[in-house]
Amino acid sequence: MNKSYLETMPDINGFFGKFGGSFIPPALEKPFEEIKQAYEELKNSSKFIEDLKYVRKHYQGRPTPISFAKNLTNFCGGAKIYLKREDLNHTGAHKLNHCMAEVILAKHLGKKKVIAETGAGQHGVALATAAAYFGLECEIHMGEVDIKKEHPNVVRMRILGAKVVPATHGLKTLKEAVDSAFEAYLANTQNAIYCIGSVVGPHPFPMMVRDFQSIIGFEAREQFFEHEAKLPDVVAACVGGGSNAMGIFSGFIDDKEVELYGVEPMGKGNKIGEHSASLTYGEEGVMHGFNSIMLKDIDGNPAPVYSIGSGIDYPSVGPEHAYLKESGRSKVGLCNDDEAVDAFYKLSQLEGIIPALESAHAVGFAMKLAPSLSKDKTILVSLSGRGDKDIDFVINNYPIPNSKF
Ligand SMILES: *Cc1c(COP(=O)(O)O)cnc(C)c1O
């Protein structure tokens, strides 16, 4: 029998074709090797698998359901739209899928502390939650600018017992937070472990985080059969680093007849600085320790990026997405700010589900695709998170539409 895609990718050095790998300072080689070996051991250990199953079922709220978006489907016309409800995870997004597993790994390695960076604070909140549950210390690095902007998530992290360390150099946002977190980790590799928040970073993180998120796709494949007694025709998910997308893709990647769409944010326009559509406008390059397709400025440095969804404005993308796009297995869908906000309100008013602005990009794309497909076709959307965190921003910037129709 042929091996499944997930068993063969990435290769032993963490490459998906030419993308991925590990480009790190010598001082980090040993600790990353330690993480890689621990994961190789753990992934086949029945105790690890049982521990993860237990927390997912009894704490996190899995399996999350698939909902048929009947009213949205009628509104759009054409293909039926289904939603995989990652918004119903504890803490409101898919991120806990990998954070719980990363913290179990940290415990297995005898570490006392988890360290990470966060942009909008979503990864920081999920990691602080997992650390609280498993009794580890948690240190989250965050740009000073983001600390001011994302006040509620900063408070959440502190209430959950995490220490929030401000990154005060440069632009004081995500990139500086990554630098600052790496420095803290370098100084304490003995007692601490770095926990990356998406399918990015040096090997083994893109593989590990994908494997931890693959539960989304494995559940979805079975649940979709309950609804339709067949596979979906299209699977779509928003892509920042790409972890919720790789999670749902994992369930369908060997089913060649299922079209996979990673949806990128087109923001306010197609000029550099107006969007963060890395796969669409980027070129090959190394950033944050891995080779992928990234947006560069004229000097070849990471370009400034923008999206209304603060969890998806990243100038590079997980290496596996670069590989799947180049190999033709996945396609790229696009959704801009206005389309995402329209999807945010439509899903709220037609289905009673307030989506995260990130997730609204995948919904917005599905709303554009559905009318071009016949009524017997189906689109499965990864609804990566709930939108409570975004309500003040949306209401202050985009008035509530008067009528749904
Ligand atoms: C963080 C986040 C994302 C983006 O992360 P990916 O790794 O691209 O999945 C998407 N949606 C929500 C709700 C998030 O919190």
Tell me the domain boundaries of the chain: 5-57+95-209, 61-92+214-397
Would you say the CB of residue 265 lies under 6 angstroms from ligand 1? no
- Which residue out of 198, 313, 354 has the highest number of ligand 1 atoms within 8 Å of its CB and is therefore the one to mutate? 198
- Would you state the pLDDT for residue 310? 87
CA of 244 to the centre of ligand 1 (A): 6
Active site residue 250: no
Domain 5-57+95-209 shares a fold with domain 61-92+214-397:
yes
- Would you state the pLDDT for residue 1? 60
Q: Whose CA is nearest to atom 14 of ligand 1?
A: 311
Would you say the CB of residue 10 lies under 6 angstroms from ligand 1? no
Looking from the CA of residue 237, the nearest atom of ligand 1 is 9
- Would you state the pLDDT for residue 404? 56
- Would you state the pLDDT for residue 176? 86
Q: Which residues contact 269 (CB under 8 A, 6 or more apart)?
A: 275, 336
Per-state percent for the chain, helix, strand, coil, to nearest 5: 45, 20, 35
Options 3.40.950.10, 3.30.470.10, 1.10.40.30, 3.40.50.1100; CATH for 5-57+95-209 is 3.40.50.1100
- Report, in angstroms and rounded to the nearest whole number, the Rg of the chain calculated over CA atoms: 20
- For residue range 78-105, list pLDDT tens digits in order: 999 999 999 999 999 999 999 999 999 9
CATH of domain 61-92+214-397: 3.40.50.1100
- Would you state the pLDDT for residue 48? 95
Residue ranges, the chain, pLDDT below 50: none
User: Would you say 340 and 347 are in contact if contact means Cβ atoms under 8 Å apart?
Assistant: no
- Would you state the pLDDT for residue 403? 67
- Would you state the pLDDT for residue 120? 85
- For residue range 8-48, list pLDDT tens digits in order: 999 999 999 999 999 999 999 999 999 999 999 999 999 99
Active site residue 384: yes
Active site residue 374: no
